[in-house]
Each structure stands twice: as C-alpha cells, then as structure tokens.
Structure 1
Amino acid sequence: MYTKTGVCSALPRTSMPRPMRPRAQGEPRMSELNKRTQARHEVERARFLGDVYDLLAILRREPNELLPFDWVRHLAPEGEHSLGVQSIPVDQIIGSVDRYREFDRHYLPKEPHLDERWIGVRAAQLEGKELPPIQVYKVGDLYFVKDGNHRVSVARRQGQHYIDANVIELNVAVPPEEHDTLRDLIIKGEYARFLKETNLDRVVPGHREIRFTTPGRYDRLLEHIRTRQYFLDRKPERAGLPPVTWEEAVESWYRRLYSRVVENIEKHDVMSRFPGRTEADLYLWIMDHRYFLTQKYGHDVGSEEATRDFRAHHAPPLYKRLGQRMRLLLKGQLEPAM
C-alpha cells in the first residue's frame, strides 16, 4: 500500500490472512465433532436415566424390560402379512426380536459397549441425514422391533412421536397390552385357543370378554360346556330330537350359566370384595361353591344363592382387601374411584 509520499507502509498485523492448515483426508469437520460430542453426552444421560428407572422398578416391584418377541408365540398367531412402510407411534413399540436385553421398557440404552452405535444414529440425525425405515412386527396395536432398535431409542429420547417402519402384521385373536407379563401372554394365548375351539365370537356376537388371572382355567370352561351338552341331551323334552350340537351347548352355557353368574356378581357387588380378580375368576369359584352347597343341602341352590353365600363367607378380610387395593393403585391397575 502506497501513501501520498510514495512510501510503502506495511499492512496491520491483524488484517493479514492466517495460513489455513489443509484438512487431512477423512478428518471430520469441527461441526461433525461437535455433533458426536453432543450425541455422546446424550447417550450418557440416557443410560443414567435408565439406571433411575431400574431402581424405581425394583422399588415398585414392576418389570422394566422390553418384551421378547418370542413371547408372542404364546398368543397363537395364525399367519402374517406385510403392511408396507407406515408411520407408527413410537410409544407403542414395546419389544424387540433380539435386542430386548440391551434396552429397558422406555427404550433407554443399557449396555455401554453399544454407545457408539447410538452416537452414530444421533449424530446422523443432528446432521439432518435421512434415516432408513426400521422393521417391525405389529401384534394388535403394539410393535416389536426386528431391525432399528437404536433408531427407536434415539427417536424416543428426542420425544419423536412417529417413526417410519416397514410393518409385518401378525394375526392374533387376543392382542397384547403394553404392560403384559409372560403370564399375561400365556393366559391370552389360552383364551385365543378357547375362542377358536368354541367359536364363541360367532355363536354369541358381542359377548363379554372372559379373562382369567391364572393360567390353565379355560380347560375348565370347556369341561363346563361338555357337561352342559351332556345334560341338555338328556332333557325329557328332547326325546326323539337330534343330539345337541357343540355350538348349541356353547351358546346355552354362555347365556344360561356364565351370563347369569356374572349378572349376580354385579347385582350383589361381589367384585369390590375381590380386588384384582376378574368375572371369570369369580365364575369358577362360585360354580364350585354352588356344587358344594348342593351337596350340603341335597338340592341345587341356584346361582344367585351360591353367589350371595360365596360373597358372605369367602371374601378376604377388610385389611387384606385394602392392602391389595393399594398395591393395584400403585401399579396403575385400579381406578381410585373403585
């Protein structure tokens, strides 16, 4: 730069451009490093939160694991079909095919050695890259991840409501629910087989759900239906008529036995004395009690008398009922108004 006198003056030191070190091939840009650092902090916080949820689950005596997809076989699925790529609710993903030990029920990561995979997915998300759809099995309204567990974990951690997924739907008669345990799925599978064997959905459309809290009870209902069929066949008014069909016996059992006991349970407010139990549980107990009273008095006392007597003599003491009710309230399995 020349002045009016023709003397060259040096440029100010602060105005001179600094030499740039060429970026080595494969070296990440600083923005990429920042994104990976942010992702690393996020996965560490996610695992810490997972430890907190584990502790709460222990204190509440509740499970905090993803459901293994293998458990679905207990629901007796009858085939599958593809639904293609859809947007599915992230909070309805409750299980995994083979990664159910690596994430908790909130899909928080549990294994530190898999952090890099989580960080890679989150960093790609921060860079605005489009992630491929995950792959899931749909069972009822819930989903099990076949591929893309880390993408689900990141999406859920970021509060994402929907995620694209390639969906394969399994056909089940009794769908699972979010907080089901292995025992719950076994019972639902037994219920599915009961519905198939009785054709109850077709014989009595709109029937009440028949749910037990203990496995192995639906076989006893089938025994009741067979007994009903036997006695219906031997009624005097059926002389000369064709034998009672299985479906006729199913309908008669449901309408004349099961429904009447349930009506009496509601009429005499029996459910309130057995918190955590179902109508089906009480039906079996009351039918057993009816048989006991019939043997005791030498004549059939009927379902209503058996229901009243069972309520009066076999309900748990008040302190036990209150304790059970409190446990159910803490688990969110009982409405406070009940």
Structure 2
Amino acid sequence: MYANTTATQEIEEAKRQALLNNILATLRGEDNHLIPFEWVRFLNPRGEHYIGTQTILVDQIIGSVDRYDEFDQHFLPLTHHLDERWVAIRKAQIEGKELPPIQVYKVGEGYFVKDGNHRVSVAKSTHQKYIDAEVIELDVNITPHPGESLKDMIIRSERVEFYRTTQLDELRPNHAEIDFTTPGRYDILLEHIRTRQYYLGIQEQREVSWEEAVGSWYDKLYWHVVRNLRKHNVLGKFPGRTEADIYLWIMDHRYFLTEQLGHDVGSEYATLNFKDHFRPHWWERLGQRMQLLRKKIVPSPQV
C-alpha cells in the first residue's frame, strides 16, 4: 500500500512539474519536448554496432525513438495514459524489485530510448544518476565538438553535406557563409538549386550542368536576397536568426505575394514587405535578445 501511494503521489508531482516546465518554456519561446530520434537521420549515420549492456548517465538521455511527444525534455510525463505504467515501475522500484536494462541508441554523447521510456521517466523524476542500458552506437559522419548540442551537431553535419554536394567553396570562393539555426533547411536549398537547373534548361533550351546551376542560384537568388537583407538591415530585426534563415522566409513570402498579386514582385519588394509585416515588436526583440544573452551567460544543457 505504501509503495503504491508513494508512486501515485510522485507521478502527480511529476506531471505538475511538467506543466510548469511547459509554461516556462512557452514564455521563453523554447521547445520543451524530447529530441525525436528521426532527427538523427540528418547526421547521415554510416552504420551501427552493438556495444552491450552498460551503466550510463541518466542526464545523457535526451531523446526517444517513438515516445518523444509523450514526455517533456526532462522526461517528465505529459499525458494521463502514462500513469498506470509509470506507477507500476516506481512501485516495483520502491519494493526493491530488479528492473531490466533499457535499450538505447548512442549518438555522440547522447542517448535515445528505444525501449524503456517509462523507466527513464521514473529515473529522471527520482534524480537517479545512473541506469543500466543495452547500447547500440550509431556511426555518424562528424565528430561532436566539446559542449555541442545534438541540434547543433545535426546542423553542422547537414552543412558539411551541403558544401560537399554543391562544391560552393570552389565555385564561389568568397561566398557568404550559409548557416541555419534549425535542422532540415539545407535540403530545401538543394531543392532550390535543382529547380533553378530545371528552369534554366527550359529557358536556354540546353543541358545545364549542376555546377552552373549552383553558381546561378547563388548569384541570382541567394546573394541577391542577402544583399537586400544587408542593405535594409533586416537581420537586426530578427534576433537569433541568420541570413540563410531569413532567405528561406523571403523566398516563401515572394511566392505568396506573386500568387496574390498576379506578377513576380521581385526579391527586394518581398524583403521590405516581409520586414514590415513580420518583424517582432520592439519588446519581443528585446526579449529575444535577453534570451540570447542569457544563453551565452548560462549555457543550456548540452549533450
């Protein structure tokens, strides 16, 4: 009876803490969910190998294969249907019963739960430091930098692959740096280049090489937008974003305006219109800058 009552009280407390975490994350403009294992595909893993059962740090478990939307980023439960299983595991733990190892994928220094999400949630909630796990390690293309988050690692891996595919360093040695703050964006740039290649071929009635398409995309689209961003000081209106981030927004906005008005509005008009309609209010920009400053002073947990 004692174990069941204690476990029930603890999950209610865990859910209250998860609710508070959600509120605070919303106020800070941050995400409060686990990292989906699906993101790992952006690292282009070359393969995997089984390491065996090891004792791992609970704090290094940062994601889940298929339950990432059921727990917050601290592995606290977000939905009521988790209660019964959670309570049963905690009750068994209090009664001294041995629990089987969880199963995880290791990516860099972080772990993603393949099986055992509830056991990890209980471990996190009770401040357990270590947990036994069967570990499968993924071989990824890049080596993690000290203190680098998985998100940053994914973006860096995508960046390396983008430059390898486009050979932009060779084609345009003095190009503007193309950096993103969100995974999955470099693939969109590659699609822009393929589209450029296709329409150039139609326009000029000839075969257009990949190298020519890359150069034309950079000169006529990307660099043209970036010049406008710098000319009109757009980047300063969107703290924490990069020129590449805003380039994609401008391209989408240009398409929207063109469809709405019935003619191509051009990149400069799209840039100015986007700046006027979507820049945050001054108090929002102040909050964003304070958040960036806070992250520099007190770095968020890394994996």
Decide: shared fold, TM above 0.5: yes
Map of 2:26 onto structure 1: 58
One-letter identity of the residue aligned with 1:325: R
Whole-angstrom distance in 1 between the partners of 2:38 and 2:240: 27
Q: Greater helix share, 1 or 2?
A: 2
Give 1:191 deviation, angstroms.
2.4
- Indicate the structure (1 or 2) with the bigger Cα radius of gyration: 1
Cα pair 1:194 1:218 within 8 Å, conserved:
no
Give 1:140 deviation, angstroms.
0.8
Map of 1:25 onto structure 2: none
- Unpaired segments of 5 or more residues in structure 2? 168-177, 194-237, 245-281, 299-303
CA 1:160–1:212: 2 relative to 1, 3 Å: same
Give 1:186 deviation, angstroms.
5.8
Whole-angstrom distance in 2 between the partners of 1:85 and 1:197: 38
- Unpaired segments of 5 or more residues in structure 1? 1-32, 200-209, 224-273, 282-318
Question: Could you tell me which of 47, 51, 64 is aligned with 1:83?
Answer: 51
Map of 1:289 onto structure 2: none
Cα pair 2:7 2:91 within 8 Å, conserved:
yes
Cα pair 2:110 2:150 within 8 Å, conserved:
no
Deviations 1:194-236 (A, max 9, x none): 576699xxxxxxxxxx96447339979xx9xxxxxxxxxxxxx
Question: Higher RCO, 1 or 2 (CA under 8 Å, sep at least 6)?
Answer: 2
CA 1:145–1:196: 2 relative to 1, 3 Å: farther
Q: Map 1:30-45 onto structure 2 (within 5 A).
A: 33-45=1-13
Map of 1:149 onto structure 2: 117
Q: How many residues matched?
A: 208
Whole-angstrom distance in 1 between the partners of 2:97 and 2:30: 38
Give 1:171 deviation, angstroms.
1.2
Cα pair 1:35 1:123 within 8 Å, conserved:
yes
**Percent identity over paired residues:** 57
One-letter identity of the residue aligned with 1:151: R
Whole-angstrom distance in 2 between the partners of 1:126 and 1:277: 47
Map of 1:262 onto structure 2: none
CA 1:102–1:82: 2 relative to 1, 3 Å: same
Q: CA RMSD in A?
A: 3.8
Cα pair 2:33 2:72 within 8 Å, conserved:
yes
Question: Could you tell me which of 130, 137, 142 is aligned with 1:169?
Answer: 137
Q: Map 1:207-286 onto structure 2 (within 5 A).
A: 212-213=180-181, 215-216=185-186, 276=240
Whole-angstrom distance in 2 between the partners of 1:277 and 1:56: 22
Cα pair 1:191 1:218 within 8 Å, conserved:
no
Cα pair 1:68 1:96 within 8 Å, conserved:
yes
Map of 1:72 onto structure 2: 40
CA 1:97–1:217: 2 relative to 1, 3 Å: closer
Whole-angstrom distance in 1 between the partners of 2:150 and 2:29: 13
Map of 1:188 onto structure 2: 156
Whole-angstrom distance in 2 between the partners of 1:106 and 1:150: 12
Question: Could you tell me which of 82, 89, 98 is aligned with 2:66?
Answer: 98
Matched, 1:328 2:295: no
| 2:33 alignment partner, SS class | coil
